[in-house]
Amino acid sequence: MSETPELNIDRVAELARIALTPAEKAEYSAQLGEVLKHIEQLKQVDVSGVEPSAHAFAVENVWADDVAQAGLTAEAALQNAPAQRDNMIAVPKVVE
Amino acid sequence: MAHSLPFQSLTQVADQLAAGQVSSVELTQAVIDQTQAVEDRVNAFISTDSVDALAQAAAADQRRAVGELLGPLDGVPIALKDVIAVRDQPLTAGSKMLEKFVSPYDATVTTKLKDAGAVLWGRANCDEFAMGSSTENSAFKTTANPYDLSRVPGGSSGGSAAALAAGEAIATLGSDTGGSIRQPAAFCNVVGLKPTYGLISRYGLAAYASSLDQIGSFTRTVEDAAIMLGAIAGHDDRDSTSFKTPIPDYRAALAEKKGPWKLGIPKEYFGEGLDPEVGAAVEKAIAFYREQGCEIKEVSLPHTEYCLSTYYIIATAEASSNLARYDGVRYTHRSADAKTVEDVYFKSRAEGFGAEVKRRIILGTYVLSSGYYDAYYLRAQKVRTLIRQDFLNAYQKVDAVLTPTTPTPAFKIGETADPLAMYLQDIYTVSVNLAGLPGISIPAGFSEAGLPIGLQLIGQPYQEADLLAIANTYDSTHDWNSRLPEL
């Protein structure tokens, strides 16, 4: 309970794929440190033998019939992509 | 005394439309005029399209002329929080990331409202990706509380609540992940309903935390909430978490279900931090229910103090996963500086997201990361089980639980800069989402300073008919909603 939680902001920002400025890193580290201190209180709860809930209600897998249905046209599906050509999304080169 | 058209209830305008006393075009124009008169101060909307709204209204009037009225929503202007997709209309989610996004399809609730003939009008401002309790996290504007323009309308659905309170719509939709409908409803003197998880399809709702998100309504009365719920509830194959359950006639249930009810008062919700004026208003409401013959019982929800921590672990974890889709590849914003694929991710997300969204993604990524998952996320999921069990135990003894909606009335814009202090705003509402229950906030009075106060009723899963009837017992015999903001 007593140890202060460590949030390695460089590592977590890397995992989250967000470029943070040094000022943002300092600010978020301090703010989230406070939040983590608050969250530490959960360690007081006896959860032995308690099943975790991913949802409030037991949600079972739902199967759909394997039947083709009308969907978006390629044009509609791509209309919000920032760069595209020939009905494809364009991105910077990823392999040499 | 009858209010002017934009301030009438859905029930009132539906009756006048059906009787031919007013046309949908007249009603819609009155709402547009009111919006133009107050919007420079209230700032409830991110976008509006009056040409489109009036065309929908004219179509409603044509249906009426040939006797093909679609029901009580036909021809009624309804605004949507800007996280709900309307085909060929913008959807920003209050984020720069989606500033130029145009929805290629309708959300299921949008389809249902269109099928009911509603005039879809106005995309309401909100905290970015519904993350916040004040609507100050919108990338575009700060919405003001119509009852005091120096104060927040609440959040994250603050635009939806403020628009209704200011007469800029007859009803509105919002979404509620930890209180985002009920808290702004309390702050703006309107009724806010968050239904049971799974009762309303989330298809077409921009996701924040998928196991907690639920769409719901803002209305002037509980009867209006019953009409709205009947229109938008129901199973949807496109949302595999939507529940297969018969949808009753919620409006008819208000008259059929008379009580008396057993109401539970959880002592944990009346402790430190509760504003005395809010506490007094809630005590008066409890006294009212007792006079109606209801049995008032103290109940205990012993894990209440852990709700906020549990919520902020689960919600941010789910958010970090959901918002991974905004990668600069598919959704409108890509950094102009991006040279490599890594740049596309890192720079686009740095530019597109605001501070609170970044904070929550960082926190959510952390609690899910290797070495911390069991200590935070898994533990929070177990505490969630206990929180839900607390409510189910209480429902062995009572029909519903009665609490304040918020610890205080609306706070000042810019006053709550510290994230943790802002999170504490949700202290009475997050438990309802964690347990998946239906909750409603109804107007219950005003503070000395003239700020609205909300009363929260929490019902049993999928028993919205009971919850609405219990709420209506109070709402139909009080007229707090007749006190309009002075704009």
Give the integer Cα–Cα distance in Å for B412 and B243.
39
pLDDT band at B421 (very low <50, low <70, confident <90, very high): confident
Per CB-CB distance under 8 Å, the chain B contacts of A12 are: 362, 365-366, 369
Give the integer Cα–Cα distance in Å for B29 and B35.
10
Tell me if A56 and B211 make a contact (CB, 8 A cut-off): yes
Chain segment B106-163, per-residue pLDDT in tens: 999 999 999 999 999 999 999 999 999 999 999 999 999 999 999 999 999 999 999 9
The chain A residue lying nearest B356, using CA atoms, is A28
- Considering only the beta carbons, identify the residue of B102, B313, B324 that sits closest to A79: B102
Chain segment B272-322, per-residue pLDDT in tens: 899 999 999 999 999 999 999 999 999 999 999 999 999 999 999 999 999
Query: Cβ neighbours of residue A17 under 8 Å, at least 6 residues apart?
Result: B324, B327, B345, B346, B349
Give the integer Cα–Cα distance in Å for B204 and B242.
13
For the purposes of burial, counting CB atoms within 10 Å of the CB of B273, is it exposed (0-12), middle (13-18) or buried (19 or more)? exposed
**Domain containing residue A5:** 1-45
Tell me if B313 and A39 make a contact (CB, 8 A cut-off): yes
Give the integer Cα–Cα distance in Å for A83 and B67.
48
The answer to whether position A65 is within a domain reads no
Sheet order of strands, B295-299 included = B45-47, B119-124, B77-81, B171-176, B214-219, B191-194, B439-446, B452-458, B400-404, B262-266, B295-299
The answer to whether position A51 is within a domain reads no
Q: Given a cut of 50, is residue B79 above it in pLDDT?
A: yes
Q: Given a cut of 70, is residue B375 above it in pLDDT?
A: yes
Average pLDDT of chain B? 96
The answer to whether position A27 is within a domain reads yes
Tell me if A56 and B341 make a contact (CB, 8 A cut-off): no
Cβ atoms of B324 and B129 within 8 Å: the answer is no
Chain segment B195-243, per-residue pLDDT in tens: 999 999 999 999 999 999 999 999 999 999 999 999 999 999 999 999 9
Query: Which DSSP category does B297 fall into?
Result: E
Give the integer Cα–Cα distance in Å for B265 and B433.
18
Cβ atoms of B120 and B78 within 8 Å: the answer is yes
The answer to whether position A91 is within a domain reads no
Strand partners, B214: B176
CATH code of A22's domain: 1.10.20
Which among B81, B112, B194, B347 is annotated as catalytic? B81
The answer to whether position A8 is within a domain reads yes
Tell me if A50 and B330 make a contact (CB, 8 A cut-off): no
Q: How distant is the alpha carbon of residue B267 from its chain centre?
A: 25
| A-B C-beta contacts closer than 8 Å | 164
**ipTM score assigned to the predicted complex:** 0.94
Structural domains in chain A (count)? 1
Active site residue B240: no
Cβ atoms of B404 and B278 within 8 Å: the answer is yes
B354 three-class SS: coil
The answer to whether position A96 is within a domain reads no
pLDDT band at B477 (very low <50, low <70, confident <90, very high): very high
Which among B138, B160, B180, B447 is annotated as catalytic? B180
pLDDT band at A64 (very low <50, low <70, confident <90, very high): confident
Q: B324 to chain A nearest CA, in Å? A: 8
Which domains are seen in chain B, by residue range? 5-264+396-482 (3.90.1300.10)
Q: Distances in Å between the alpha carbon of B475 and those of B146, B250, B469?
A: 21, 15, 10
**Residue B256's CB: how many other CB atoms inside 10 A?**
10
